Every structure is written in structure tokens, then in C-alpha cells.
Chain A
Amino acid sequence: MDPEEYRRQYATEIAQVAGPDQAAMTAMEPDAAVALIGDTGTAVDLRLAAIDAARFDATSHPEVIASLLAVLGNRADEPAVRRAALGALRENTFRVAAFRQYAPDYLNTLRGILDDPNQQLRERVVEVLALENDEYTQRRLLDGLENPEVALVAPQRALQLLGYDLHAEHYELLRDFAGQDTDPAARNTALRLLAADGASADLFARILQDRSQDLGARALSGVALSSLAPAEFSSVAEEIVLDDTDDDDLRATLLTALSHGTARPERADLAERVLAHASTPELTRAAEQYAQAAPAEAEETTDG
């Protein structure tokens, strides 16, 4: 395609498409925006429009950030306006240096929302704080896992949120969840996170080899074992991969782990033997990938 012709076409497209949106690149006067955002007597639509206009380059205007924080923290205000305020603040947090001066007040406001009656807002804020490894949020999540009456979120979600912090206080709970079979979703989440615990390699080896276990749990255990104990995984996985009475998706997953991990079974004809009797496209694909892959370790030579 001729670049100049492409430029002409693109200019036309921009003129047609972007025209109405160009206003989004122009800020409303901060004073006007602040007056509208904070005025609970103004129609919600107008206040939302003011937030949309004010979010542009908001970090350059402390009064705009202050008004957004005030709305967000005001439980009596309209939920839609508060959620819009959170959205505007959130996108500006990605301008880290510019937002930094507001961060202490922002985080303080968010913590106050953990007990907010607005569930949608509360659940969003729980995650935002959990991603910050916030200790107070973690404490509330742990309290909720031990006493459902004070739970901020469901158990599986609480585990996920705690898991954002590798160094959180959830390992004992994870083992408890990993050992139960009443809530498979929570159990699988626990297994995913427990994979970070080097001391759990034996548990994963047991689950992987136990055909009475849930298939999802076995697959996760295989992946965990491949990360924690590659050599042990290699020998266990080899047996399962070659066992055509075992689940094909599990076998494919283990082959994928073998293809993209460090250790490989010594059996050179592993892929050939699987391909000879592969019964599903996924197993075939995984075996083909395995046949093509060299051990990943070989790639670790380019550093520094």
C-alpha cells in the first residue's frame, strides 16, 4: 500500500471518527468541574459528565483529585457518581509520579470503603487494596475466612485476594482448603497459591498420582510439581503421559509443562509413543510441541 495514500485515507477516517471525541482531550476548567462534581443537588448525569471532563490530566489539579476523593468517600452520595470517581482516580493512579502526592489520602479513603454499604464499590476496593498488599485488607479477609459473618467476599475470592501478596498469612488456610473436597473451586484456588510454598511439593506429588482425585486438582498439582521439583515431576509425568487409560487433557497438560519447563524425561520416544495412540487433538498438539521443544534451560544463556 502506498504510504501517502494510506495517510490520506487515515486522515479522512480520523476526521469522521474522532471529531466528537476530540473534546475528550480537552479539559473542563477545574473550578467548574469541581463545583459540579461535589454538588449533590446537581443531576447525576451532569456530575458524571463533569467527572469525565475532569479526569483529563486530573493529577495536575489537586482540587479535582480532592473533589473525587470526597465524593468517593461519601457514603450518602450517589453510587454511580462514586463509582465514576473511583474510575477516574484509578486511571490516574497509573501516572505514578504525578499521582504519588495524592496516594496516602487515596489509600486512606479506600480503606474506609471496606465497610461501605455499597457492595459493588466495596468489592472493587477490596481488590484494589489487596493488590497493594494492604495489611488491613488482608486482616479483614483472614477474619472473614475464619468467621463468615464478617466476610467481605466469598472464601475462594478471599484466598485469591490474599494470594496477591506472596508473603501474606494464608498458607495454613491454603493447606486446609487443599485438603477438603466440599468446595472444588476454593480448593483449586488454594492449590494454585500453595504452589508457591516449597514445602508442599510432596502434597502435589500425592495428588497428581492419585487417580481418585479431581482432574483439575491433579493438573494443577502437576504444574506445581514441575515448578517446585522438576526432576521428580519429570519421572511422575512420564508415567502418566504414557498411560492411555488416564485422562487425555491431564496428559496434554503435563506434556505442555514438560515442553516449557526445565527437566525432561530421559525417554527420547515419549512424544512418538503418545502420538501413536493420541485420541484427542489437544493431546496430539501437546505431543507435537513436546517433540519440537528443547529444554527451556538452554535459553538461559543470554543474560547480562
Chain B
Amino acid sequence: MAIGLELTINDTTDQGGRYLTWAATPCQLRVSAPDGAVQPIPVTISTGAGSRGRLEFRMSRDGQAAGQLRAELPVDGEAVAFFVSGRFGSPSVDDGDTHIEIRNRDTGAVLSSVPVMVRIRKNANLLRPAERDRFLSAIARLNNQGQGLYQNYRDTHVDNTRLEAHGRHGFLPWHRAYLLDLERELQRIDPAVTIPYWRFDQPAPNVFTAAFLGTTGTSGFARFLPSNPLRVWTTDGQIGILRRPFFEPGTSAAHDDNGQRVRREAVIVGFRGPFSTLTGPFESNPHGSAHDSFSGHVSAIGSAVRDPLFFLLHCNVDRLWAKWQWFNRRFDPQDPGTYQFNGAAGTANATRIGHNLRDTMWPWNGDTRNPRPATAPRTPFPDSPVTHLPGPAPTVGSMIDFQGLGPDAHHLGFDYDDVPYQPE
């Protein structure tokens, strides 16, 4: 018989909750079997030896992070609460490749070693082959040659839905929810998957390859290796992805057929003005410019989702917004610099429904009344084993503080490899 411990991560002891980001994740540790011990058990909580990712620990959500934590575990089963997060710059590369290790401080014995994953959205150009293949397989299976749920994402990003998501302030929050929705479905297929981002302002020689998103074929269709799941990518019954870049992806940042480059990251992140003056220019360039750097499906809103590149492109758009938020400390939804329309549609100073902070967003809210589209084929918003947020009908406001920095806030379960978690 040995001392038994029970570790609750993200409010569950289930394996499904053992996915971390840079954000502080709540944990409770308790003695489940004292094995005759009568005094509190002194323990050290740290990253286990041999872990691929690194962990940090805090006693409170906004407390100082440390590489290890000391605690005295009551033998009556009362839990000790703490927070764990991935250490910025040290994410996992595989499911369960990192361990939360609990050692007895007196004896040095390892009492428990719980596998977790520091699951972070990464630069697609820097992915390891196994990470890349995992993503490709998951998205191909979600599509299931046009029979799967992927079709729903297409149905919610077509011409009758454009006003819900484009051209107004809700553009960035709506697409953040859209990405997270897809990512959660991918994680139901393979929980270790995140959506990688394509940094369109840099060359991406490892992205536009036959093993990943395809090379440019003479036919105009992207070319894939026979074992690449995108080789059999089918939408609406048609086979393949029409895509031809106007730039040389291996050596150049994205630009349109006239040589006009996408705005660089530093220009967006370094923009000091409020969100209201950022969002419009951001939406046209780099967002529109990145789409327009290709001929083919991805170059028009109605057909863009036929190409899975769409999600890597938009993941980068979202990352840029996230990084702008971090660099400019724009996580407080009530700060007008963070978001302009902080009310609800129909109230004073509000804008169109779906673009105000307190509005729920179509399609997840199922609202099909005018002026929303007549149907909502993607409802409700999927839950996640790591958090019940943002709930079945996310509001625009629920997308702002994605790391859970504010009082009583909670992370949404995603982070970027180059956007730290930095409580005030």
C-alpha cells in the first residue's frame, strides 16, 4: 500500500481535463489514501523529469509563477488548491509528454506523476512532422470527404452569413469563436491537436509542401503526397483544392498579384490606437490581403473554407489580435480601447446585432430572426473537457479575455506559442 493522491485539473480528474495552456489552470490536490499517515504530507509539485514541456505553478491565479510549489497535504482528504500553467516558450509536442510530479519532500519518493499536455497553437512552419500529421488527419476526418461536420463550418461562412462576421467590429471576435469551435471538434477526434497558424508575413517553406498544405501544381490544384490526407480532400463532391500563390512561399512573405505585401506583424501589434481604429484596416490588410495572395478557393469568402488553409490563415489573424491585446494590455472588455461597442443591440450607442459586446453570436445562439440568417446550422457552441466556457451561445464579449486575466475570468483553453500569459 502506498499513499494515494488525487489531482483535479480543470475541475476534473478525468484525463480529458489534462490539457494546459500558458494561462493559470486551477488544480486541487488531495490525499485519497493516507496509508497510515497521520501528519500532513509535505510535498513538492514540479515538472516531472523527462518532460517535453515545462510547467509553472502558482498559489493564486495572478500570483508569482514558480518552477515548483511546496505544499502540506492534509491526510483527512482536504484538497490543496493551486494553479498550473505551461511555461512560456516550452510547450508539449505530444499528448501526455509532460508530467506534474508530486514528491514527498521528506523521502524524495515520487508519490504521483500525472501526464498532461501543454497544448499550444504553434507556427505551422515550425511544427514537427508528427504534430503536422496529427492536424492533417484530424481535419480530414472531420471533413470525411464532405460527409462530416466540416460542412457545417462551410455553411456558416457563406454569402448569407457574411454580415454576421465581416466588415464590422465583430469580425475578430466571431472568427475567434469560429476557430475555437473547429478546434474543439478536432480535439474530439484527437485531443492533442491544435490549429497551427500560418505567419503570412514570413516565408513558410515547411507549410506549402506536399506533406502539409500542398505545393503548387501546374494544374492549379494543390499537390499532395499519396499519404497526405489532403490528397483525398473532397468538398461538395469535387476533389482537391484550387490554390496558386502569387508569391513564392518558400522565400517570400505573402503578397498579391501586384506585389502588394501583407502588413507585417510588428505594424499590427505595435499599433497603439484603440480597437475601433485597428479592426477595419486589419480586416482588409493583412486579413484580406492574405486571402488575396492566392488565386483559388481561399481567395473569396464564400469558397475560402473549402481550403483548410483558411483555418491556418485565420489562426494567424487571431494570433495577431491576441498579440496586440497582450502587447497593449487590451483584455478588459469594458475598456473602450479593447472594444468599442460594450452594450447590446437595440440600446443606446449600439451597432448592428452580433457586433456588440453583450450580443450573442450567430450561429451558435440559434437565433434565426431578422436580420440574422434564416437558419443556424452550427448550434450550440461545443463544450470542452478543459472549460465550460464560453458556453453554448457565446457573446462577443466572451471572446475578449481568452486567457482569463480578469477577475472571475477563466481561460478558453487555447494560447499561442508567442503570446505570453501575463497577469497585471
Contacts and interface: CB of A to CB of B under 8 A. Distances in A.
Are any A and B Cβ atoms less than 8 Å apart in their complex?
yes
A207 to B, nearest CB: 13
B288 A91 contact: yes
A44 to B, nearest CB: 13
B108 interface: no
B284 A260 contact: no
B303 interface: yes
B382 A302 contact: yes
Interface stretch (A31-39, A105-113, A136-144, A250-258): A250-258
A97 B239 CA distance: 31
A64 interface: no
A228 B185 contact: no
A195 B266 contact: no
Interface stretch (B2-10, B45-53, B219-227, B341-349): B219-227
Nearest to A99: B167
User: Considering residues A59, A128, A260, which has the most beta carbons from chain B within 10 angstroms of its beta carbon?
Assistant: A260
A107 B239 CA distance: 29
B229 interface: yes
B141 A166 contact: no
Given A18-B266, A127-B295, A262-B144, 16 more contacts: A1-B89, A10-B269, A18-B270, A52-B260, A57-B281, A57-B284, A96-B163, A132-B300, A185-B219, A196-B237, A196-B238, A256-B228, A260-B143, A262-B147, A282-B225, A282-B226
Interface in A57-75: 57-60
Contact of B232 (A11, A127, A132, A257): A257
A261 B288 contact: no
Given A84-B258, A87-B256, A257-B232, A94 B291 contact: yes
* 3 A-B pairs closest in CB distance: A97-B167, A94-B288, A196-B237
B270 A164 contact: no
A249 interface: yes
B281 A25 contact: yes
A188 interface: yes
A17 interface: yes
Contacts of A249: 226
A216 to B, nearest CB: 9
A257 B237 CA distance: 14
B146 interface: yes
Contact of B264 (A10, A15, A21, A282): A21
Contact of B260 (A57, A84, A95): A84
Contacts of B225: 282
Interface string B387-418: 00000000000000000000000000000000
Contact of A227 (B146, B188, B260, B300): B146
A259 to B, nearest CB: 7
A297 B144 contact: yes
A302 B231 CA distance: 26
Given A22-B270, A90-B292, A97-B168, A285 B237 contact: no
A157 B292 CA distance: 19
B240 interface: yes
Nearest to B268: A25
A256 B288 contact: no
A260 to B, nearest CB: 4
Interface string A265-292: 0000000000000000011011001000
A25 B284 CA distance: 12
A3 B380 CA distance: 36
Given A90-B292, A223-B232, A185 B422 contact: no
User: Considering residues B145, B301, B382, which has the most beta carbons from chain A within 10 angstroms of its beta carbon?
Assistant: B145
B144 A300 contact: yes
Given A21-B266, A160-B220, A285 B227 contact: yes
Given A91-B288, A256-B227, A302 B303 contact: no
A83 B280 contact: no
Nearest to B88: A1
B107 interface: no
B167 A100 contact: yes
Contacts, number: 248
Given A1-B88, A21-B263, A223-B232, A166 B238 contact: yes
B226 A14 contact: no
A209 interface: no
A62 to B, nearest CB: 15
Given A18-B266, A21-B267, A83-B257, A286 B219 contact: no
18 contacts: A59-B167, A59-B280, A91-B284, A94-B166, A94-B283, A94-B291, A132-B302, A185-B218, A223-B231, A224-B234, A252-B226, A257-B232, A261-B145, A262-B145, A285-B227, A289-B137, A299-B142, A302-B382
B128 interface: no
A88 to B, nearest CB: 8
Nearest to B423: A3
Contact of A189 (B219, B271, B297): B219
Interface string B247-269: 00000000011101001101101
A297 B149 CA distance: 10
A84 B375 CA distance: 38
A120 B295 CA distance: 13
B220 A157 contact: yes
Nearest to A247: B226
Contacts of A87: 256-258, 260, 292
Contact of A296 (B148, B352, B420): B148
Contact of B148 (A15, A91, A299): A299
A90 B256 contact: yes
Nearest to A25: B271
Interface string A129-153: 0011000000000000000000000
Interface string A2-35: 1110110011011101100110110000000000
Contacts of A220: 239
A55 B142 contact: no
A234 interface: no
Contacts of A3: 88, 420-422
Contact of A256 (B229, B270, B299, B301): B229
Interface in B297-327: 297, 299-303, 327
B237 A83 contact: no
B232 A97 contact: no
Contacts of B299: 127, 131
Contact of A7 (B231, B242, B257, B327): B327
B299 to A, nearest CB: 7
Nearest to B289: A91
